Amino acid sequence: MEATKSPVKKDEEQENEKEEAKAQVEIWNCVFGFVKMAAVKCAIELGIAEAIENNGCPMTLSELSTALNCSPSNLQRVMRFLVHYQIFKEKPTSQNSIAFEQTPLSRRLLKQGNNSMAAFILLESSPVMLAPWHCLSGRVLANGSSAFDSAHGKDVWAYAAADSAHSKLINDAMACNARVAVPALIESCPEVFDGIGRLVDVGGGNGTALKLLVKSFPWMKGINFDLPHVVCDNERCNGVEQVGGDMFQSVPMADAAFFMQVLHDWDDDECIQILKNCRKVIPQDKGKVIIVETIIEAEERDDKFEFVRLMLDMAMMAHTSKGKERSLKEWEYVLRQAGFSRYSVKPIHAVQSVIEAFP
């Protein structure tokens, strides 16, 4: 006579069956995980979002393929994929056909606009930035080397200095990131900039972040500080001075130093050196360093951006020699070692948080 299974055993078997069923589906996301990025990049390069936006109303496949000079059959396959992932929407027409319309997500594929992430997507999907992912395991090994170095024979900064096209990709991507993060910073905690007469943006790239800050806080003057080859061709802006230099050597004097996703490119010792250089040039009584960076928490929390922070940490591993996203405990260590006596953390409506550090 067959023994009756206990309720606990049945529950375990049912749970195992659910996990197996889920694994059967999810493994395909591992196999073809790159396809979504490739299809979105295709949409940006073709200008699909621009075509629909400029048309002012939804477009049929025939209208869209004519406007873009595309093969209708191939474009239909791409749009079917993008609609499935709710990047674009389908809308029935009065002629019993289907038209494609914009969504809040597809508008972020526009090459221009405050919410555009197109430049960031084009950077991360470029052959230069994809190649290091194939060397990621080498970075993880105990005696491993930088994934980017392994792929290209030099680090990302040397590569950008020698390749103006890739340098522009980086600057454009950081600019679009700034156009998303800086308004969130200004909206969430404008008081961070109270009393600052002169702000130096360390590693400010093409100056997008600083322009937005100076425009919002007109009493403030800005110094956009980056490597000479980065700032030499920057567009001039009232209230912003372009200064070339090396943050590992010195930083221009100011009331406060500002970093936006710069320190995550470097290891602890390098960050400590950079921050020490900032501490030397800000007023000891009322100066501060403002750091806009990702903070990874060790404990679980209900945060819609946490998966982005974890992906960013993997990107740091692939694209930098020693960079990483840090937990709050790791940030505290860096700040203390750099000589800062206290700090505060403010969340904003973005992937990043704001850290204020005081001498």
Q: Where are the domains of the chain?
A: 34-109, 181-358
C-alpha to C-alpha distance for 281 and 278, rounded to whole angstroms: 5
The CA distances from residue 256 to 38, 223, 309, 356, in Å, are 41, 10, 26, 10
Task: Supply the DSSP symbol for 262.
Answer: -
pLDDT, the chain, mean: 90
Helix, strand, coil shares, percent, the chain, to 5: 50, 15, 35
Mean predicted confidence (pLDDT) in 139-149: 86
pLDDT band at 1 (very low <50, low <70, confident <90, very high): very low
- Between helices 72-84 and 61-68, what is the axis angle to 10°? 120
Q: What pLDDT was estimated at residue 94?
A: 79
Answer for the pair 292, 256: CB distance below 8 angstroms, yes or no. no
CATH number for the 181-358 domain, one of 3.30.300.30, 3.40.50.2300, 3.40.50.150, 3.30.200.20?
Answer: 3.40.50.150
Mean predicted confidence (pLDDT) in 259-279: 94
Q: What pLDDT was estimated at residue 5?
A: 64
Nearest to 78 by CA among 118, 98, 48, 54: 48
233, pLDDT greater than 70: yes
Catalytic residue selected from 293, 300, 319, 356: 293
Long-range pairs of 190-194 with CB within 8 A, sequence gap ≥ 24: 190/216, 190/217, 192/290, 192/346, 192/354, 192/356, 193/217, 193/220, 193/256, 193/290
CB contact set of 83 (below 8 Å; sequence gap of 6+): 89, 90, 100
Mean predicted confidence (pLDDT) in 305-325: 92
Considering the domain delimited by 34-109, tell me its CATH architecture.
Orthogonal Bundle (1.10)
Catalytic residue selected from 50, 124, 166, 264: 264
Q: What pLDDT, in 10s, does the model give residues 157-210? A: 899 989 989 988 998 998 888 888 999 999 999 999 999 999 999 998 888 899
Mean predicted confidence (pLDDT) in 271-278: 95
Annotated active-site residue 187? The verdict is no
236 burial (CB, 10 Å; 0-12 / 13-18 / 19+) is: exposed
Catalytic residue selected from 50, 124, 319, 325: 325
pLDDT band at 326 (very low <50, low <70, confident <90, very high): very high
H helices present in 189-305, as ranges: 208-216, 228-231, 268-281
Annotated active-site residue 264? The verdict is yes
C-alpha to C-alpha distance for 51 and 101, rounded to whole angstroms: 10
Q: What pLDDT, in 10s, does the model give residues 31-57? A: 999 999 999 999 999 999 999 999 999
Backbone torsions φ then ψ of 353, nearest 5 degrees: -120, 170
The length of the chain in residues reads 359
Annotated active-site residue 325? The verdict is yes
